[in-house]
Structure 1
Amino acid sequence: MKNSIALNEMIFYAYHGVRECEKEQGQRFILNFKAEVDFEAAAVNDDLNKTVSYSEVYKVIRKIVEGNKYDLLESLAYKIICDLFTEFSLLDEIEIEVKKPMVPIPGILSSASVKMSRRRTEVEQNA
């Protein structure tokens, strides 16, 4: 990525998972967002209107994570990517990582996660 913006370790309480107890009780999810964006004009002119607002990106992600229930983290990540491309025309490539710290696996691990990245053209082809 030539120029990128990122939001790191966002924490949300949500109700995603295959098991009914996950959908009823909920748990914490930790998300990382990174996007390629041409913000040269914003940097030169110190102009927020020529780049993408971190706070607006955060609002879109929060709305999706907290407002819906998904069985799969993969589906959640894909929905976030699609909606961000729809909302922000300056984004060229997006990477989303979704971590689930309290994964119901009998074993010792800190989290399960998915990481997905897509270019705008890839998402537009699948629409």
Structure 2
Amino acid sequence: MNGIIEIEGMEFFAYHGCFEAEQIVGNKFTVYACLHYDCSRPAESDQITDALSYQTAYEIIAREMMKRSHLLEHVGQRMLNALYETFPQLTYAKIKISKMNPPLGGKIGSTSVTLEK
């Protein structure tokens, strides 16, 4: 049985970007995760130990967000790699990282990078 877990609206303050100011001042980011997985065991057993843990997924994402990087693509790749290493039942994952109010010289709500694996 296929299942989909979506973790929406995760907010972080981190230091990602190519500009020196971004590495010093930091910025607000939001992250969305969509995780497809085989949910046959937890659907039958009703045991949390058989399920893909939302808490663990969040902790992985939060940990990777705290590691400084120049590119959001690099952050997203680390997230995907760690999620697949932790959850063998994953069949597909999508991560969207948005930088709020990026310093591009104008009024911009956000820029985003989406990675899928």
> Which amino acid is 1:34 matched to?
C
Q: Distance in 1 between matches of 2:20 and 2:27?
A: 12
Aligned-pair identity in percent equals: 27
> What SS does structure 2 have at the residue aligned with 1:3?
strand
TM-superposed deviation, 1:105? 1.0
Q: Distance in 2 between matches of 1:14 and 1:69?
A: 7
TM-superposed deviation, 1:44? 2.3
> What SS does structure 2 have at the residue aligned with 1:108?
coil
Task: Tell me if the contact between 1:65 and 1:76 (Cα under 8 Å) persists in the aligned partners.
Answer: yes
Give unmatched runs, 5+ long, in structure 2: none
Q: Distance in 2 between matches of 1:106 and 1:23?
A: 17
Runs of 4+ in 1 over 4 A off after TM superposition: none
After the TM superposition, which residues 1-127 of structure 1 pair with which residues of structure 2 at under 5 Å, given as runs? 2-66=2-66, 68-118=67-117
Give the number of the structure whose residues are more often helix, by fraction. Answer: 1
Q: Distance in 1 between matches of 2:86 and 2:44?
A: 24
> Which amino acid is 1:44 matched to?
E
> Which amino acid is 1:4 matched to?
I
State how many pairs are aligned: 116
TM-superposed deviation, 1:34? 0.7
Q: Distance in 2 between matches of 1:15 and 1:107?
A: 20
> What SS does structure 2 have at the residue aligned with 1:112?
strand
* Superposed CA RMSD: 1.1
Give the number of the structure whose residues are more often strand, by fraction. Answer: 2
Task: Tell me if the contact between 2:32 and 2:97 (Cα under 8 Å) persists in the aligned partners.
Answer: yes
